[in-house]
Amino acid sequence: MRLPKSLSDGYWRFRRERHEPDKGRYRQLADLGQSPSAMVIACCDARVDVSAIFDAEPGALFIVRNVANLVPPYEPEGKYHGTSAAVEYAALVLKVPSIIVLGHSHCGGVAAYRDRLKGNADDTSFIGRWLTLLDGLQVTERDVADFGKETAFELAGIRQSLANLRTFPALKQREAEGLLTLHGLHFAIGSGTILELDEDEGTDAFAVLPEHV
């Protein structure tokens, strides 16, 4: 079977309208390698277009996507850790100065986990096992009051992934040395609003990302 026409057409539009006019940049990226300014850990959700959200050029962001933008804890004895491998590569090889966990509204993964808490557990499927990474989720009363229960679960998932990132010894060290900053963001699909986690001085609260002029 050939590639679906919509994808093939899209590729040729990209090739003609974006790659061809910007050939110098792509050639440079090919020759010099990547040097992204940040790593983004986002959800697989098709509505969360990471490069579009940050208006990012090719080569600017090192992105890993998985169901519900989760980071497993540091498990050196584990087997196939795709997300952990990407985190390790970003921090130790690319030496990115920032890692961002980007959650989002209407997250099917987080909603499935909430269903699971209601007794609809299926820990035998890949997704069921994966979502157990949300076990022990700390949903705060403040988030529920400020943003509603659904969003509060998504925000708690972002906090949990940030906490798990800090279980990686190399990341913890780079953060302590001031070489790496960790960020938690939540993108609302419908409104476009981004909430940012402020961890300074024990605030630990999400607020709308301000526009710096």
Q: How many residues bind Zn ion (CB under 5 A)?
A: 4
What string marks each residue from 42 to 71 as x (binds Zn ion by CB under 5 A) or -? -x-x--------------------------
For the bound state, the minimum distance from the C-beta of residue 49 to Zn ion, rounded and expressed in Å, comes to 13
How many Å apart are CA 187 and CA 184, to the nearest integer? 10
Query: Using CA atoms, how far apart are residues 162 and 70, in angstroms rounded to an integer?
Result: 9
**Which segments of 15-81 does DSSP mark as H helices, in order?**
23-32, 50-53
Closer CB to Zn ion, 29 or 188, in the complex = 188
Piece of 39-47, 111-119, 184-192, 203-211 that binds Zn ion (CB under 5 A):
39-47
Signed CA dihedral, 99, 186, 138, 206: sign only: positive
Rounded to a whole number of angstroms, the minimum distance from the CB of residue 154 to Zn ion is 8
Decide if residue 154 touches Zn ion (CB under 5 A).
no
Helix, strand, coil share of the chain (percent; to 5): 45, 15, 40
Q: Which of residues 106-135 bind Zn ion (CB under 5 A)?
A: 107, 109
Q: Which is nearer to Zn ion, 86 or 91 (CB)?
A: 86
CA distances from 82 to 145, 178, 185, 196 (A): 35, 26, 22, 26
- Please report, as ranges, the residues that interact with Zn ion according to CB under 5 A: 43, 45, 107, 109
